[in-house]
Structure 1
């Protein structure tokens, strides 16, 4: 690894669960030196297993140093302030006002380090009527409208299968940090960066919001059809051995699909000659497409449609995605030998910079792994002082 965009940037993170850790992991992959601070008994994500390292923790905390520190103790607060006093970035996703109660808020920390970029990820933001609502990905999806638009029209609201709030929030927080670092090069001053998961999720409702503005009675849940019911064909269709996703953006796509399924007689038929007209006949379009797919195997369908230039994709099961050759070649699936967990695949960096190398992936830290190195090497504490911190429950 010769060069990375954030080489020399020092990050301290209190990130926990998914939101903060993913933000800090992206920064570490881009070259930043990231030190993860956990309470002496570990961050909440570790509680998902009785012993050892939970796989989610291993997958989200690569390329970080790991230390423990009790921020509720006065000595712990002193050590934290020292660590942050010469850091470039602090990342935390505690609930609103937690850091203020600890006396470790931005105004306090910037007094010793005016160049600090203080990044706070929250559920609902620093202001507004929801600011103190408890925030986990499920509640963000519920309040943010994601559940209302997920599922089928005749069924209940359903959460997305992915942690959309946590990761959308983490990505936006990383973007805010990088932007603040750039601005600091101009002003010489740090600043407070805040990203709400609720805010970050809202723009993803673009298609259903478009349907809402066009028709107040638009159905909130559309299954696998277009969220605004404004595109046809657009659905997941059953094959003899699985499912395929097929959609058509242009009339050329529609004509190519008609040729493939043996319905050339409909080319030029005024009932289907525009996307709007096809979208008004969703059931008819879906029925003719699935009548063709249901008699064929998934991968054969994909090969035929790809050759014809029809946008499509197989609905892959999780075990297929976990071994996806494309993701492996792109460096998104990285197999490592973790000292505690063992063999595991961890995610890579989705961001590609032409002037930067992809990161070498180092295993996530075991709890307190780097206490001696950080407290001794960086803060200059002696072995006896570090041992005293352990005895006193500070680390």
Structure 2
């Protein structure tokens, strides 16, 4: 896809999104709106949202910078009459409100979806949470780690002879944020047809179940067999081989063979043509049954070559493979840089730092829009409250002192 010629979707430039959210889940949903050109106003407590507190000094934590580009910040005390009134004034003007407080928390403050929709019937209230607003787990405290545990994600990570291991990425937080963006967009599309807003919710826990498709399918495809929950780097159902991470002279390399063409390519690339005639590996079922012997034979060869050497050999045979990159390598990944996913901003406190680009490429309008650094607490107090509520600078700043 060619580089875009204009920075944002023009239809999004008229959207006002209120982000009453913290940590990763809600802010990533807000970031996706911000990247597309919506005006995203982050309404924070007077001391800032919780993610800011992870910094050990006066700088902003990198994770906050990465998830809050292109947003504006207003600081309000929602428990004060003036702060609440200012917030509701913004709600009156908004198209979308994103929140990921615990279920019922806003309702206890008199700011539940019913109240907000009564004030602004065209509003989309998008609620993200760990387990949703109903069900046996609804009232449980939820963070990425606990939802990984409850969803079965941790049970499937690690090796069969070791303890369960969480995934490295904050997969449930970010999955919840992505799905919440999708739910909000679906409601906005519906509003175009009906003129009505609505409340949508996404449970992080709900979004993890379909991600376990391979692991769960082993239970149903082979009901008479007992599979380990944790299969390391092998296929979740142990039904494909070779499918693993193999040693290289300078690290590790992932190889997957999902067809007979791939299998023949692996053998040719690694000089293991004799395995093509080996009765143990004659078809994919036999290769799966004998994957210990197969992995040992492949690993003995891969260990003699570097990742780059192996990649060139396997790619020449059109075999899916990839080096296991270290985070320092990912930080300078030329592919991510060219596609605009790794962007850099000049942050007033932290200097020049990387931040997250827009993964939604909508040709020819969206992709590498200009990036503004994450805001300081209440940085846009006067601008936002003056624009939408007609407040003077003195009135707007007074709300930060209440």
Give the TM interval when normalised to the shorter protein: over 0.9
2-side partners of 1:388 and 1:293: how far apart? 66
Asked if 2 retains the 8 angstrom alpha-carbon contact of 1:251 and 1:273, the reply is: no
Asked if 1 retains the 8 angstrom alpha-carbon contact of 2:381 and 2:397, the reply is: no
Asked if 2 retains the 8 angstrom alpha-carbon contact of 1:340 and 1:366, the reply is: no
2-side partners of 1:388 and 1:46: how far apart? 22
Distance change >3 Å, CA 387–CA 296, structure 1 → 2? closer
Asked if 2 retains the 8 angstrom alpha-carbon contact of 1:148 and 1:221, the reply is: yes
2-side partners of 1:390 and 1:66: how far apart? 12
2:122 corresponds to 1:112: no
Deviation (angstroms), 1:127: 0.7
Distance change >3 Å, CA 175–CA 387, structure 1 → 2? closer
- The aligned counterpart of 1:331 is 340
1-side partners of 2:8 and 2:303: how far apart? 51
- 1:391 is paired with a residue whose SS is coil
1:1-395 equivalent positions in 2, closer than 5 A: 1=6, 3-4=8-9, 6-50=12-56, 51-213=58-220, 214-215=222-223, 217-358=226-367, 359-392=369-402
2-side partners of 1:291 and 1:44: how far apart? 49
1-side partners of 2:332 and 2:252: how far apart? 19
Asked if 2 retains the 8 angstrom alpha-carbon contact of 1:260 and 1:308, the reply is: yes
2-side partners of 1:321 and 1:239: how far apart? 18
Structure 1 vs Structure 2 CA RMSD: 1.3
- 2:237 is paired with a residue whose SS is coil
Calculate the TM-score normalised by the size of structure 1: 0.97
Moved more, 212-221 or 186-195: 212-221
Structure 2: runs of 5+ lacking an equivalent: 1-5
Structure 1: runs of 5+ lacking an equivalent: none
- 1:226 is paired with a residue whose SS is coil
- The aligned counterpart of 2:3 is none
Runs of 4+ in 1 over 3 A off after TM superposition: none
Deviation (angstroms), 1:268: 4.6
Deviation (angstroms), 1:377: 2.8
Deviation (angstroms), 1:44: 0.7
- 2:52 is paired with a residue whose SS is helix
Deviation (angstroms), 1:261: 2.2
Deviation (angstroms), 1:341: 1.5
2-side partners of 1:8 and 1:345: how far apart? 28
Asked if 2 retains the 8 angstrom alpha-carbon contact of 1:257 and 1:310, the reply is: yes
2-side partners of 1:387 and 1:197: how far apart? 36
Distance change >3 Å, CA 189–CA 299, structure 1 → 2? same
Deviation (angstroms), 1:355: 4.1
Moved more, 366-375 or 165-174: 366-375
- 1:6 is paired with a residue whose SS is helix
Asked if 1 retains the 8 angstrom alpha-carbon contact of 2:17 and 2:98, the reply is: yes
- 1:331 is paired with a residue whose SS is coil
Deviation (angstroms), 1:265: 2.3
Asked if 1 retains the 8 angstrom alpha-carbon contact of 2:132 and 2:138, the reply is: yes
2-side partners of 1:170 and 1:334: how far apart? 20
2-side partners of 1:68 and 1:206: how far apart? 42
Deviation (angstroms), 1:230: 1.4
Could you give the per-residue CA deviations for residues 209-240 of structure 1, whole angstroms, max 9, x where no partner exists?
Answer: 01122246210000111111111100000011
2-side partners of 1:311 and 1:161: how far apart? 23
Deviation (angstroms), 1:30: 1.2
Could you give the per-residue CA deviations for residues 125-161 of structure 1, whole angstroms, max 9, x where no partner exists?
Answer: 1110000110100000000101000000011110000
1-side partners of 2:289 and 2:393: how far apart? 74
